[in-house]
Structure 1
Amino acid sequence: MVRRLLTLVVSLVLLVGLGVGGLYLPMPYLVASPGLTLNTVGDYDGEPVIRVEGADSYEHDGALSMVTVQYAGGPQNRLNLLTVLTAWLSPSNAIMPEELLFPADRSPEEVSERQTVQMNDSQTNATAAALNQLGIGYQAVPLVAGTVEGMPAEGLVEAGDVIVAIDGEPVPTDTGGDDPEEAVGSSAVVERVGAREPGDPVELVLDRDGESVEVEVETTEAEDGTAAVGILIADDMDFPVDVEISVGEIGGPSAGMVFALGIMDRLSEESLTGGASVAGSGTITSDGRVGGISGIAQKMVSAERDGAEYFLVAAESCDQTFDSAALDDLEVVRVETLTDAVAALETIRTGEGELPRCEA
Structure 2
Amino acid sequence: MTLVVALALLVGLGAGSLLLPLPYLVAAPGITVNTVGETEEGPVIEIGGAESYEHEGSLSMVTVQYAGGPQHRLNFFGVVTAWLSPTEAVLPEELLFPAGRTPEEVSERQTVQMNDSQTSATAAAFNELGMEYEAVPVVNGTVEGMPAHGEVDEGDVILAVDGEAVPTVSGNGSEEAVGSTAVVDRVGDREPGDPVELTLDRDGDTVDVEIPTTEGEDGGAAVGVLISDRMDFPVDVDITIGDIGGPSAGMMFALGIMDRLSEDGLTGGVDVAGSGTITSDGRVGGISGIPQKMVSAQRAGAEYFFVAADSCSQVSQSAAYGELEVVRVETLTEAVDALDTIRDGEGELPRCE
Q: TM-score scaled by structure 2?
A: 0.97
| 1:140 alignment partner in structure 2 | 135
Rg larger for: 1
Are 1:300 and 2:268 matched, yes or no? no
1:269-308 aligned at under 5 Å gives the runs: 269-308=263-302
Question: In 1, are the aligned partners of 2:309 and 2:329 still within 8 Å (CA)?
Answer: yes
- Cα deviation per residue 1:231-277 (whole Å; 9 max; x = unaligned)? 11111111111111000000000000000000000000111111101
Q: How far apart are the structure 2 equivalents of 1:46 and 1:246?
A: 8
Q: Could you say what secondary structure the match of 2:128 adopts?
A: helix
Kept in 1, the 8 Å contact 2:128–2:171? The answer is no
Using the alignment, how far apart are the partners of 1:126 and 1:184 within structure 2?
16
Which one of the candidate residues 24, 29, 36 is aligned to 1:29? 24
Distance 1:119 1:137 in 2: 23
| Match for residue 123 of structure 2 among 128, 144, 163 | 128
**Is 1:309 aligned with 2:303?**
yes
| Corresponding residue SS for 1:146 | strand
| Distance in 2 separating the partners of 1:19 and 1:228 | 55
Q: Which residue of 2 aligns with 1:332?
A: 326
Q: How does 1:204-353 map to 2 (within 5 A)?
A: 204-353=198-347
Residue-by-residue CA offset, 1:266-300 (whole Å, 9 max, x unaligned)? 00011111110100001111111111111110010
4+ aligned runs moved over 4 Å, structure 1: none
* 1:18 CA displacement: 2.6
Q: Gaps spanning 5+ residues in structure 1: where?
A: 1-5
| C-alpha distance in 2 between matches for 1:326 and 1:143 | 43
Change over 3 Å in CA distance of 1:69–1:223 after alignment to 2 = closer
How far does residue 110 in structure 1 lie from its aligned partner after superposition? Answer: 0.5
Letter matched to residue 320 of structure 1:
Q
Partner of 2:70: 75
Could you tell me which runs of 5 or more consecutive residues in structure 2 were left unpaired when the two chains were aligned.
none
Amino acid in the other structure paired with 2:184: V
SS of 1:105's equivalent in the other structure is coil
1:130-163: per-residue Cα shift (whole Å, max 9, x none)?
A: 0001111100001111112222212111110001
Aligned to 1:173: 168
Q: Distance in 2 between matches of 1:232 and 1:273?
A: 38
Deviation at 1:220, TM superposition (A): 2.3
Indicate conservation of the 8 Å contact 2:139/2:155, yes or no. Answer: yes
- Write the deviation string for residues 152-200 of structure 1: whole angstroms up to 9, x where unpaired: 21211111000111222211111134x6121111111112222223333
Please give the per-residue CA displacement for 1:287-320, whole angstroms capped at 9, x wherever unaligned. Answer: 1111111111001001101101110001111111
Whole-angstrom distance in 1 between the partners of 2:234 and 2:283: 22
Q: Which moved more, 1:49-58 or 1:217-226?
A: 217-226
Using the TM superposition, give the Cα deviation of residue 219 of structure 1 relative to its aligned residue in structure 2, in angstroms.
Answer: 2.1
Q: Give the AA of the match of 1:220.
A: T
Judge conservation of contact 2:290–2:315 (CA < 8 Å) in 1. Answer: yes
After superposition, the CA RMSD in angstroms is 1.3
Query: Which string of whole-angstrom CA distances, capped at 9 and with x for unpartnered residues, describes residues 72-123 of structure 1?
Result: 1111111111111111111000001111111120001001000000000000
Query: Are the aligned partners of 2:129 and 2:171 in contact in 1 as well (CA < 8 Å)?
Result: no
Task: Summarize the alignment of residues 23-172 of structure 1 with structure 2, pairs less than 5 Å apart.
Answer: 23-172=18-167
Distance 1:82 1:19 in 2: 13
Q: How far off is 1:13 after superposition? A: 3.2
Distance across 2 between alignment mates of 1:89 and 1:226: 46
- Relative to the length of structure 1, the TM-score reads 0.95
Amino acid at match of 1:206: L
Q: Distance in 2 between matches of 1:9 and 1:279?
A: 59
Cα distance in 2, alignment partners of residues 16 and 227 from structure 1: 62
Amino acid at match of 2:198: L
Worse-matched range after superposition: 338-347 or 14-23: 14-23
Q: Is the 8 A contact 2:315 2:321 kept in 1?
A: yes
Distance in 1, matches of 2:91 and 2:15, equals: 23
Q: Within 2, Cα distance between the matches of 1:156 and 1:15? A: 65
Instruction: Work out the percentage of aligned pairs sharing the same amino acid.
Output: 74
How far apart are residue 215 of structure 1 and its match? 1.3
Match of 2:125, SS state, is helix
Structure 1 CA distance for aligned equivalents of residues 41 and 208 of structure 2: 52
* Residue 187 of structure 1 pairs with residue 216 of structure 2: no
C-alpha separation between the residues in 2 aligned to 1:121 and 1:80? Answer: 35
